Amino acid sequence: MAVPGRKVAVVGMGGAFPTCTGLEDFTNKLFTGQSMIREWPLAVKYGKQMRSTMCGYITEAEMGLEPVFNPISDEYPETYIDLQNRIPDLNLATADMGSIWAMLGALESIEMAGWKQEETQSEQTAVVVGSGGAGHVILRVAWHGFFKEGRKTRSAGSHTVDRAMVYRDAANVSCLIKNKGVCEAIGSACATGLGNIGYAYRLIKFGLQDRAIAGGVEGTSLETFIGFDGMQVLSKGFTPETSSRPFDVNRNGFVCAFGGGIVALEEYEMAKARGAKIYGVIDEYFNNSDGDGNMFAPSFAGQKRLWKGLRDGATIKPDVVKVHGTGTPVGDIIELLCVIDELGESGYHISAPKSQFGHMLGAAGSVEFIAALQMLEHQKVSPCINSDNLNNEPENFQKTEGWDGPVKPVSEYRHLIPQHTVEKEINQIVCLNYGFGGTNSAIAVSRDV
């Protein structure tokens, strides 16, 4: 149960963003409508084996890292060298790429928060960081060496387990900052990033912790990309910059992307007392399941219940709704119509950041939460680029018997979906993210006033 009077503030943030040198560069590209998606040479290399080749990827060099390869394989990074000396070698030895991004994001968040060592290493400081997939890059080479090449187990090195375990991101951050409170990794597919932040929010709101490092990461992995490409759910047929097209009538899938978003959360009165800059105050977090037994299809009813749960815990009147907006044919419109059914046809704007940097899977919710914090900070709504043409006809599901949502075509809501950055007063933003298995997450964050 929530402890009366306890609020949760966001006091720091950091992460890894495709094509960006850091948070400032990410923010600039966000509001200038730039795409962070490129053609991925690693995908192109496999020719007709791959259906899609567009990706929001990040290389080691772009993060200031140099891979050190296993002597028996030029594909297996046994460890990394941090060329900027941010992370000790001991911590790098137990980390895959995503875990390194999580550690870097944690360090950036702590610095921005102004936490001292006694606060970071306190029993009242939690780490809640997860990812959407396993340590594929680590596992692929380890298992290939054993099963296909007949090598001894020691050829995989001594860190295959800790570099690939589900809990690796949280564990590496915890070992780096040496917190003594809760350390958890929550996995909920593409709702992972927001879900970890939401869980950390509850830890503080319920009085179990005073601070938390929270978020999600998804390390660059061709294995992950292959899986979604095989499902034929990735965008194809467009240039890299125009390949992610939420709400556009010609959208045909999402753009797979990789990155990380980490935030520092703190009990509000503690943050105020020490003079911390507060980037946002979390009003409420709610999550649920569709409950319809469908692994993949979005649920209008499930999303409606998500909004109800959010409203039950706080006053919800957003100036911006940061949508999941992947670019998939059905998912986008179900989500949009649910928002309209809840909020009406005016008085707010829709932000769809995936149009600029793609779908970061386990990192999506946390990176997009950081994008929402930047909207609050700069009083600007990021655009939904590539939403050039909206359907002038109702969707087929809008014509079916039993549909109880809005019946107008999407083109009637052009005014809600800006193609360019909008400057306006923004006091509250609702962030939405969904994942396979019917899991839904929503968080409302407001300016500190």
The SS3 of residue 335 is: helix
349 is catalytic: no
Q: Which of 175, 324, 349, 431 is the catalytic position?
A: 324
Phi and psi at residue 259, to the nearest 5°:
170, -165
At a CB cut-off of 8 Å and minimum separation 6, what does 267 contact? Answer: 6, 7, 8, 9, 204, 210, 211
Site of tokens 């060298």? 81
Q: What share of the chain is helix, strand, coil (3-state, %, to 5)?
A: 40, 20, 40
Q: CA-to-CA distance for 278 and 281, rounded, in angstroms?
A: 7
Phi and psi at residue 87, to the nearest 5°:
-120, 130
- Cα angle, residue 401 at apex, residues 398 and 406 outer, rounded to 5°: 35
Cα 17 off chain centre by: 10
Phi and psi at residue 428, to the nearest 5°:
-145, 140
Contact 316, 347 (CB under 8 A): no
Cβ neighbours of 121 (radius 10 Å) = 14
183-184 vs 54-55, strand pairing mode: unpaired
Cβ neighbours of 349 (radius 10 Å) = 22
Q: Which of 20, 256, 359, 431 is the catalytic position?
A: 359
Phi and psi at residue 65, to the nearest 5°:
-120, 150
CA atoms within 13 A on the CB side of 447: 16
190 is catalytic: yes
Amino acid type, 73: S
Q: Which of 190, 256, 338, 431 is the catalytic position?
A: 190
- Nearest-Å Rg of the Cα atoms of the chain is 21
Query: E strand or H helix at 292, and its extent?
Result: none
Amino acid type, 200: A
Q: CA-to-CA distance for 98 and 320, rounded, in angstroms?
A: 30
- What is the DSSP track for 55-112? EB---TGGGTEEEEE-TT-SS-EEEEEETT--S-HHHHTT--HHHHHHHHHHHHHHHH
Residue 89, token pair as written in the block: 């070698």
359 is catalytic: yes
Q: CA-to-CA distance for 66 and 61, rounded, in angstroms?
A: 6
What is the set of active-site residues? 190, 324, 359
